[in-house]
Homo-oligomer: A and B are copies of this chain.
Amino acid sequence: MKERDSIAQLILASLVLAACAAALTALARGEEADDSSPIFGVKIPAGYRGWELIAPSHEAGGFNELRGILGNAVAMKAYRERTLPFPDGAILAKLAWKQEPSTEFDGAFVPGRATTVQIMVKDSKKYASTGGWGFGRFIDGKPVDRAQHETCFGCHQAHVKDHDLVFTRFVQ
């Protein structure tokens, strides 16, 4: 009986150890894979790639990017009804790619490598100190650093404070 008890204790100890290891691994993973933006805690929203197009844009110079700015249903309704400020729940997603000359059609430029995904989330209470908007800038699905996120609000405030801090206009 004594030997059997020892074996049982050994098995129990092993199980506890295994459980602890799993828990610690999960914790560590959770910290490493924090996919929320600094300051704002904004994540890339599920299903954003299927949202409607608000407008395309082009950024010349160093960026040399083509962009597609998409909006969720709340944002699109606000655009179509010309509702300003945007209501809580509106989310905008700016997808950017390096602009490359088409190899198939002279004079045409097409998206190359994906560069950033940038998200704006409207929550007038949570983000009251930044005009009601939370910002997130992501490269390969990971948020960029805090310093970059410190520039979002100031820039939007400086350039488009009369359009609820939103650059992109809806085009038919």
Asked whether A172 lies within 8 Å of B110 as measured between CB atoms, the reply is: no
Q: A: which residues have CB within 8 A of B?
A: 49-53, 55-61, 63, 66-68, 70, 76, 95, 97, 99, 102, 104-105, 107-111, 114, 159-160, 167-169, 171-172
Q: How many copies does the complex hold?
A: 2
8 A/B residue pairs, CB under 8 Å, sorted by A: A49-B52, A53-B70, A56-B66, A57-B102, A57-B110, A58-B66, A58-B99, A60-B108
Q: A58-B108, A59-B109, A111-B171 are in contact. List 14 more A-B contacts (CB 8 A).
A: A49-B172, A50-B76, A53-B70, A55-B110, A56-B56, A56-B67, A56-B68, A56-B111, A57-B109, A60-B109, A68-B68, A97-B171, A108-B167, A110-B168
**In the assembly, what is the distance between CA of A102 and CA of B159, in Å?**
11
- Chain B residues, Cβ within 8 Å of A109: 57-60
Q: A144: shortest Cβ distance to chain B, in Å?
A: 18
**In the assembly, what is the distance between CA of A155 and CA of B127, in Å?**
51
